Chain A
Amino acid sequence: MRNTLPVIIAFLAGIAMVISFFFNPERTVLGTFQENLLQWVTIVGGFTLVLGVFSIVRVNARAVSRRSDGWFYKLATVISVFAMAIPSIMPTSANSAFGKVFYSIFPISWAGAFGTGPDSIYDWLFNYVDSPMMETMFATLAFYIASAAYRAFRARSAEETLLLITACLVMLWRVPIGEALLRSIDVRIPDYINMFVMNGFNLSVQRGIIIGAALGMASMSLRILLGIERTYMGKG
């Protein structure tokens, strides 16, 4: 039963979603069912967040208690989790039952610091700590692209030389100064790159991969629906 029940649920939910795709959601109960199903996913996801917090605290707290290498970074992680979470779930007014109890202990002037609104602790941490760090990480991508390109574009064989030349042309075409340079040689070159390289070779290969991936996706979905593929549950 432990193995069969999830397969039955997956089958029924999957079939309902497939059938509802072909029916008008306003004329059949399937539309409502589909909406409900997607809401359930969100609700279940909310509950599993507790598992995530539990996992992050357990792994990092253990490292801190053992004073393993870099334990202070792990301590910072645990503190950050609670520093973001606790102020955001605190009441922002004394209207609710929890709010009344909370603000009978703490001054009501603290209300503005809680919740997720403007000028709250959460908002401040998000705008001035979280967001700049994310942007910094994203910005480093440029350097990674340069090092990856250096390794990828090496003219060791005829195919690699062709790739290198094509990449150089596309890179030139993508920047204004490069496009101006190409146009100065022949005004049609940028259009040819767009037509043959981007909308020709590149697009056709991408479509080939997309068609293959879509078929693979459909095949896997079918195997899951019919209970043939159970490896995602650890079975088989």
Chain B
Amino acid sequence: MKKILRSDIIRIVTLTLFITGFFAISISAQTAEDPIFRTDRIAIFIFLLIFSSAVLLYTNWAKKGKELFVRKIPGIAAVEEAVGRATEMGKPVLFIPGIADVEDIETIAGLSILGRVAKIVAAYGTPLSVPVRYPMVLAAGQEVVEQAYLEVNHHDAYDPDTVRYVAGEQFAYTATVNGWMMREKPAANIYMGAFFAESLLLAETGNAAGAIQIAGTARPEQLPFFIAACDYTLMGEELYAASSYLSREPLLLGGLKGQDFVKLLIIIAILIGIILALFNVGGWYNDIFNVS
């Protein structure tokens, strides 16, 4: 264990020195009027280094067999239960990977969870419906679902229209999905990704249709709506953790632990800030975190 720790620390220190050296040379080469390096973003750069090091360190530990504890997230644990319920009832599962395009990281998180859900659905032989708002999400979603069916050796049961393009307009999309929910009465609705004003319209209709509902979004302004209308809600970072959690792969869980470590550092930084502000000497400390 000590050997693992030492070699990892040496690697991270070397990488940090290399990158810092590179940027130090860049800074020294720049002129004051027209700089190459954005010195006003140096705090973000340092944070990026610390964050990347922590995530990589924990990932490396996980790769080497270190046991990592991740707390139970009821919303994610309920996914399998929801699909099981749909299978028993012989009704479909609705999965919405948000309504943003594929360049949004929340949509990518949604697609990652879709892959896990599709595997469970394919194994149980439950119908799945994935309406999407953007053609790029359609292409990515079809690839993810087809691969899931392949991995559980049920490719013959895969329907290319499982993931289908519905509408590019936000409310046209919502109207179509709501209509489908009221007609088909899905047993489980899973909303994972970026949602906007349509979040409550979707979740309330799903509730009226009698489905078990699991939602996840990183947008705080939509969370109250999901909490009010859904059975389980993944808040903020839980959305990004869901895929790793469902897979239980040590490599992915390592990333989560690294993230937790940085969160601890942030808590310490906030506490220091509070103490300094109480004594009215926190101006310089505040400036460190003030970036343009």
> Is the beta-carbon distance between A48 and B223 smaller than 8 angstroms?
no
Residue among B26, B59, B105 with the most chain A CB within 10 A?
A: B105
Q: Which of B34, B101, B148, B240 contacts A26 (CB 8 A)?
A: B34
What 0/1 pattern do residues 169 to 211 of A give for CB contact below 8 A with B?
0000000000000000000000000000000000000100111
Q: Looking across the interface, which residue of chain B has its beta carbon closest to that of A28?
A: B36
Tell me which residues across on chain A come within 8 A of B262, comparing CB atoms.
215
CB distance from A162 to the nearest CB of B (A): 15
> For the complex, is B268 an interface residue (Cβ under 8 Å from A)?
no
> Is the beta-carbon distance between B165 and A51 smaller than 8 angstroms?
yes
> Is the beta-carbon distance between A49 and B135 smaller than 8 angstroms?
yes
CB distance from B91 to the nearest CB of A (A): 16
The docked-state distance in angstroms from the alpha carbon of A234 to that of B141 is: 8
What 0/1 pattern do residues 190 to 211 of B give for CB contact below 8 A with A?
0000000100110110000000
Within 8 A of A (CB), among B145-204: 145-148, 161, 164-172, 174-175, 183, 197, 200-201, 203-204
Q: A216-B241, A229-B112, A232-B144 are in contact. Are A52 and B134 (CB under 8 A)?
A: yes
> For the complex, is A27 an interface residue (Cβ under 8 Å from B)?
yes
> Is the beta-carbon distance between A219 and B240 smaller than 8 angstroms?
yes
> Is the beta-carbon distance between A141 and B37 smaller than 8 angstroms?
no
Q: Looking across the interface, which residue of chain B has its beta carbon closest to that of A210?
A: B220
Tell me which residues across on chain A come within 8 A of B243, comparing CB atoms.
229, 231
> For the complex, is A149 an interface residue (Cβ under 8 Å from B)?
yes
What 0/1 pattern do residues 230 to 245 of B give for CB contact below 8 A with A?
0000011111110110
> For the complex, is B212 an interface residue (Cβ under 8 Å from A)?
no
CB distance from A106 to the nearest CB of B (A): 29
The docked-state distance in angstroms from the alpha carbon of A23 to that of B42 is: 11
The stretch of B1-9, B70-78, B248-256, B277-285 that contacts the partner chain: B248-256
The docked-state distance in angstroms from the alpha carbon of A137 to that of B172 is: 8
> Is the beta-carbon distance between A134 and B172 smaller than 8 angstroms?
yes
> For the complex, is A140 an interface residue (Cβ under 8 Å from B)?
yes
CB distance from A213 to the nearest CB of B (A): 4
Tell me which residues across on chain B come within 8 A of A144, comparing CB atoms.
200-201, 204
> For the complex, is B136 an interface residue (Cβ under 8 Å from A)?
yes
> Is the beta-carbon distance between A216 and B239 smaller than 8 angstroms?
yes
Q: A141-B200, A216-B239 are in contact. Are A24 and B38 (CB under 8 A)?
A: yes
> Is the beta-carbon distance between A223 and B255 smaller than 8 angstroms?
yes
Within 8 A of B (CB), among A124-149: 130, 133-134, 137-138, 140-141, 144-145, 147-149
> For the complex, is A118 an interface residue (Cβ under 8 Å from B)?
no
28 CB contacts below 8 A, A to B, read: A21-B44, A23-B36, A24-B36, A48-B135, A48-B138, A56-B165, A134-B169, A134-B172, A137-B172, A137-B174, A137-B175, A141-B200, A152-B228, A211-B266, A213-B239, A216-B238, A217-B105, A219-B51, A219-B240, A223-B255, A228-B59, A228-B252, A229-B252, A231-B111, A232-B115, A233-B143, A234-B115, A234-B145
Chain A residues proximal to chain B, CB less than 8 Å: 18, 21-24, 26-28, 41, 44-45, 48-53, 55-56, 58-59, 62, 69-70, 130, 133-134, 137-138, 140-141, 144-145, 147-149, 151-152, 206, 209-213, 215-224, 226, 228-229, 231-236
Contacts A56-B164, A144-B200, A219-B55 supplied; 7 other A-B pairs, CB < 8 Å: A56-B167, A59-B161, A148-B204, A216-B239, A220-B240, A228-B59, A232-B112
